[in-house]
Amino acid sequence: MQNNNKSERVRSDEKIALLNDQVAGNGLISRRHLLGLSLAGAGGLVTSSVLAADAGLLTRPAWSMTPGRDPSEYGNPSSHAAQIKRLAPAPNAISPGTGASRTPLHLLQGTITPNSLHFERHHSGVPDIDPAQHRLVLHGMVRQPLEFSYEDLLAYPMVSRVHFLECSGNSGGNSSGASASDGSAGGIHGLLSCAEWTGVRLSTLLDEAGVAAGASWITATGADAASLGRSVPLDKALRDVIIALYQNGEPIRPEQGYPMRMFVPGWEGNVSVKWLTQIKVTDGPANFRDETSRYTELLPDGKSLQFTYPMGVKSVITSPSGQMTLTRHGLHEVTGLAWSGSGSIRRVEISADGGRTWADALIDADQRELALTRFRLPWLWEGAEAVLQSRATDSAGNVQPSRAAWVAQYSPANRYHFNGIQSWAVSAQGEVKNVYA
């Protein structure tokens, strides 16, 4: 149906105009071109099919000739989009249910992750919990211990907040240099998702129980077979932690802790204890297994950092990204996601020449606290080799480090809290690969 050569749709006079608007090396174009100018030029020119359409003579596809299916109770994606799924491993034969599935960031758009594609990380699989039988007990250093059923919690005042969630081990392959060179953005960075979470403030429940003098921490435990537990300082618990009951409007999914999850905004995902069944108010951390043997950062001198909760300022270009191939010369949109566990995203810069020159990307829509932020910038690619990078700065002034600067901070064995800059190499043939630039 395409009756033109798309690789020639950016005319030479347009190219000259575009290059006058270059804002950084190797083809990065002013972001004002995203604000209304039409420069993609990917559409095909048509003549005959338009005339036929106007005359009602166009051959109509089968789906236009007969009624489609009825409305339904719970919808599903098109069968033609079945390739858009989480990157899930083969079942774990040694430790059933243990493992992760990753959000296919490179196949998605916007900032909200649909519930069916939110990443998972389990330490003993997904329990099938009957909410009528589930209880949350709040005890320890309180005036009055309390027990809540699911129905009890539904009766409390709630808040709704859009927040990212990122596993502490996300992008870990890039810390060691172990990620496959053809890794996709989702394959490398997909332990990252974002949703609107709704639930009851933990402070509301703590206030009702009455926190005793001298209390300074809480510890939380899940009802999964791993009894996963984590400790959180009391000031954070009172500030913005919620007992999440809803995710993007509907009850949270089993993989995210149905019927209830302690959601800790901006902090490593493991702290947001799923299938929450106990909160104990204490005067110190519990030093659970997942805050001693794991989820600590090994330093060059052999010591470890513990309780390093907030996720670092970070960004990743999701398109073009690993496993993609640019099939035409001309304008492309460079787009991706940025986030920080210490506030909102203030700025995202993009480089097409491996970090020699940088240009500011356009931040699309909201710049919310502790939420994914979408960035975009036009890029004129005419077949030259390129290395695409993005660098985020957050509202606290933190700047995403280079991979080398990040690696220098830790022991080579550390794979937690990697937030170094991602480099995507684009070959002259348009193939995009993960590199350690």
Residues 324-383 touching a second copy, rule: CB under 8 A, are 328, 332-333, 335, 364-366, 368, 374, 376, 378
CB-nearer residue toward a second copy: 48 or 181: 48
When computed from its CA atoms, the radius of gyration of the chain, rounded to whole angstroms, is 24
Closest CA to 339 of 268, 266, 396: 266
Tell whether residue 2 is a contact of a second copy (CB under 8 A): yes
- HEC sequence for 190-256: CCEEEEEEEEEEHHHHHHHHCECCCCCEEEEEECCCCCCEEEEEHHHHHHCCEEEEEECCEECCHHH
CB-nearer residue toward a second copy: 100 or 387: 100
Tell me if 346 sits within 8 A of 340, measured CB to CB: no
CB-nearer residue toward a second copy: 312 or 378: 378
CB-nearer residue toward a second copy: 98 or 409: 98
CB-nearer residue toward a second copy: 103 or 340: 103
Tell me if 243 sits within 8 A of 301, measured CB to CB: no
Of the candidate spans 200-208, 260-268, 289-297, 416-424, the one that interacts with a second copy by CB under 8 A turns out to be 200-208
Of the candidate spans 86-94, 347-355, 405-413, 415-423, the one that interacts with a second copy by CB under 8 A turns out to be 86-94
Of the candidate spans 60-68, 174-182, 305-313, 339-347, the one that interacts with a second copy by CB under 8 A turns out to be 60-68
Distance of closest approach, residue 227 Cβ to a second copy, in angstroms? 7
Of the candidate spans 14-22, 75-83, 388-396, 406-414, the one that interacts with a second copy by CB under 8 A turns out to be 75-83
- Which residue in the block uniquely carries the two structure tokens 């040694």? 94
Closest CA to 31 of 378, 390, 385, 429: 378
Q: Tell which one of 203, 304, 323, 395 touches a second copy (CB under 8 A).
A: 203
Closest CA to 322 of 90, 6, 87: 87
Distance CA 370, CA 250 (A): 21
Tell whether omega for the bond before 259 is within 30 degrees of 0, i.e. cis: yes
Tell whether residue 73 is a contact of a second copy (CB under 8 A): yes
Distance of closest approach, residue 103 Cβ to a second copy, in angstroms? 9
Tell whether residue 278 is a contact of a second copy (CB under 8 A): yes
CB-nearer residue toward a second copy: 172 or 312: 172
Restricting to residues 387-406, name those near a second copy by CB under 8 A: none
Distance of closest approach, residue 240 Cβ to a second copy, in angstroms? 12
Restricting to residues 252-271, name those near a second copy by CB under 8 A: 253-255, 258-259
Burial (CB count <10 Å: 0-12, 13-18, 19+), residue 279: buried
CB-nearer residue toward a second copy: 82 or 213: 82
Tell me how far CA of residue 57 lies from CA of 47, 49, 225, 291, 325, in angstroms: 13, 9, 64, 68, 37
CB-nearer residue toward a second copy: 197 or 424: 197
Residue 342, SS3 per DSSP: coil
Tell me if 229 sits within 8 A of 221, measured CB to CB: yes
Of the candidate spans 32-40, 178-186, 228-236, 264-272, the one that interacts with a second copy by CB under 8 A turns out to be 32-40
CB-nearer residue toward a second copy: 14 or 354: 14
Q: Tell which one of 17, 81, 408, 435 touches a second copy (CB under 8 A).
A: 81
Query: What residues contact residue 35 under an 8 Å CB cut-off, 6+ apart?
Result: 362
Q: Tell which one of 198, 296, 315, 414 touches a second copy (CB under 8 A).
A: 198
Restricting to residues 92-131, name those near a second copy by CB under 8 A: 92, 95-101, 107-118, 120, 122, 124-131
Tell me how far CA of residue 345 lies from CA of 6, 28, 311, in angstroms: 36, 21, 13
Distance CA 274, CA 180 (A): 31
Tell whether residue 160 is a contact of a second copy (CB under 8 A): yes
Of the candidate spans 74-82, 173-181, 263-271, 381-389, the one that interacts with a second copy by CB under 8 A turns out to be 74-82
Of the candidate spans 71-79, 184-192, 228-236, 344-352, the one that interacts with a second copy by CB under 8 A turns out to be 71-79
Q: How far is CA 189 from the centre of its chain?
A: 8
